[in-house]
Structures are given as structure tokens and as C-alpha cells.
Structure 1
């Protein structure tokens, strides 16, 4: 009985969530890059909620600087991965060479 009540309650809440309609619009000023957005929520009982949000975006120069920073970050990661892989290969080679020297040293002593 409890499970049926819980399922009905869940269905009621999910149905009311679908009943709300949300409309979101975004505009961007091409000269400055400033963005503004407006959200309009139309609820199931007919009420409307409007939220406006505006924030300044990056200028074109700021976006280029940001992109450059991201490119440098990515290049650093690539370089780090390559260096790590090379060090691992070198370490494995040295370990293998050390074992070979150890084996030949035993043969000479015996």
C-alpha cells in the first residue's frame, strides 16, 4: 500500500514539473560581447515568472587572450604527457639493461 502511495506521489510531482513551461532567450551585443538573458516560466496555474539576467561578457580582445591561455594550457599538458612517457620508456630500458648486466656478471663469476 505504501509503495502505491509513493508511486502516485512521484507521478504527481513529475507531472507538475512537466506542466511548467520555461522559455529562455539570450542576446549578445556584438560590439562589446555583453550578454543578457531572460527566463519566462509559465506555471500550470497560469502565473508567469520573469527573470532577467545581464552580465558583461568578454570583449573580442579578452576572448583572444582567453583562447591563448587555453592553448598554452593544452600545449603544456601535451608536453608533460610526452615527457612522462619518455621518462617511463627510459626507466624501463635502464631496468632491462641493469638486469642484463646483472645476469652477465653472475655468468662471469661462476
Structure 2
């Protein structure tokens, strides 16, 4: 009896999971609003809507994006400067080595 109940429960849960059908998402780029429509195989339809960001939320998002961009730009500048400094040090060390060899000869 217990095995039959467990088997029936497994079939019910697998059927419910299988009933989840296609999901369609539509986003309005101007406001940021998002609507998701889920159509299940058993005929039911589920609609979820999210409104876009508020003005304060949009300002916070823009600030975050600006900081991220500035960080990338600064990181690239630091990397380039380090490469230039490294190559200059290498060139200077090579010149010193050449002068040392000339004096010894």
C-alpha cells in the first residue's frame, strides 16, 4: 500500500512539473517594465508584471554604471602606465649592462 501511494505521489509531482509550458517575456525599454506570460500545457495562463524603476532607482542604477565605467577606465590607465614603466626600467637596465661590459673590455 505504501509503495502505491509513493508511486502515485511521484506521478502527480512529475505531471505538475511537466505541465509548466512556454514562458514569454516582454520588456518595455523606455520604462523598464517587464511582463512575463507562462502558458501551461493544461491550459492555464499565468501573467506576472513588474513595473520599471522609479526615478530614484534609475539615478542609483545610472550612478552604479558610471562608477563601473570609470573603474574600468582607471584600471586600463594604471595597467598601461605599469607596462610603460616596466619597459622603461628594462631598457635602462639593458643600457647599464651594455656600459658595464664596455668598461670591462
Alignment TM-score > 0.5, same fold: yes
Q: TM-score of the superposition, structure 1-length normalised?
A: 0.59
Give the structure 2 partner of residue 39 of structure 1: 37
Q: Judging changes above 3 Å, is the alpha-carbon distance between structure 1 residues 55 and 23 closer, same or farther for their aligned structure 2 residues?
A: closer
Question: Which whole-Å CA distance do the structure 2 matches of 1:85 and 1:109 have between them?
Answer: 37
Task: Point out where structure 2 has 5 or more consecutive residues left out of the alignment.
Answer: 1-21
- 1:47-97 CA distance string (max 9 Å, x none): 533112133542012111111111111111111111111111110111011
Q: Does 1:59 find its partner at 2:54?
A: yes
Total equivalences in the alignment: 84
* Unaligned 5+ runs, structure 1: 1-21
> Runs (4+) of structure 1 moved beyond 6 Å?
none
Assess, with a 3 A threshold, how the Cα gap between structure 1 residues 88 and 35 changes in structure 2: closer, same or farther: same
